[in-house]
Amino acid sequence: MKKKILFVVFILLLSINAQTAAQTTETKQSLDNGSIENQFDYLIKKSGRYQEYKVIKKTWIFKLKDNVLDSIKTFNSKISSQQEEIATQLNTINELNTKVSEVSKQLENVNLEKNSMQLFGVNMDKPIYNSLLWSIIGGLVLIAGIFIFKFNSSNQITINANQKLADLEEEYTQHRASSIEREQKVRRQLQDELNKNKKD
């Protein structure tokens, strides 16, 4: 007998548990909460049958209609707020693109100024400026080298000419001295002859 009572109590507990579970799922699905899909499922489950048709209470249909319209309003407001946000973001993007283009133009101008030099009021690229500058420096060095070579050459010629002049002056001085000596010798001889002739 105890087994029968235990069996009956067990079955009662199972049925109570099943009813509680059914009520829990029923409370989860209602027209007052849940998604639109869950509300439609609830409406279809709870509707009565008449032959092959489902019979739905008018209050349920109106409640579902209100819920659907509320959901649509919510979605529309979300869509409009998101569209406003998108428009704001597009404006921000356009402003940023404008700023980026301005900054890139400024950067291009800075690079142009950085890579160019001004010579006699004319902007020149740095490589051209450097080439021109080094060409001028090279030309000046070449001209200076030519002048130094010419100066050294002329200086050597002048030194040689001065040496020859000094040699000629010395030779002239020696020749003059020897000429004077000869002349004096000849004069003495002449005087001696004249003196001899006067004595005779």
pLDDT in tens, 156-186: 999 999 999 999 899 889 988 888 888 888 8
Q: How far is CA 78 from the centre of its chain?
A: 41
Confirm whether 160 is domain-assigned.
Answer: yes
- Tell me which residue has tokens 């006699």: 120
- Which of 112, 134, 161 lies at the terminal end of a domain, its last residue? 112
Tokens of 166: 């000094």
Q: Is residue 96 one of the residues assigned to a domain?
A: yes
In a domain, 184, yes or no: yes
For 121, the token pair is: 């009021």
Question: Does 105 lie in the same domain as 141?
Answer: no
105 and 41 together in one domain: yes
Do 140 and 92 lie in a common domain? Answer: no
Is 13 a member of any domain?
no
pLDDT of residue 35: 81
Q: Per-residue confidence at 34, pLDDT binned at 50, 70, 90?
A: confident
- Give CA separation, 7 vs 4, 10, 48, 168, in Å: 5, 5, 35, 160
Q: In this predicted model, what pLDDT tens digit does every residue of 62-108 receive, in sequence order?
A: 888 888 888 899 999 999 999 999 999 999 999 999 999 999 999 98
Is the confidence at residue 20, as pLDDT, over 90?
Answer: no
35 plus 84 within the same structural domain: yes
Same domain, 189 and 150: yes
- DSSP code per residue over 52-83: TEEE--HHHHHHHHHHHHHHHHHHHHHHHHHH
Domain encompassing residue 38 = 31-112
Query: Token match 């409406």: residue?
Result: 43
Q: What is the per-residue pLDDT for 147?
A: 93
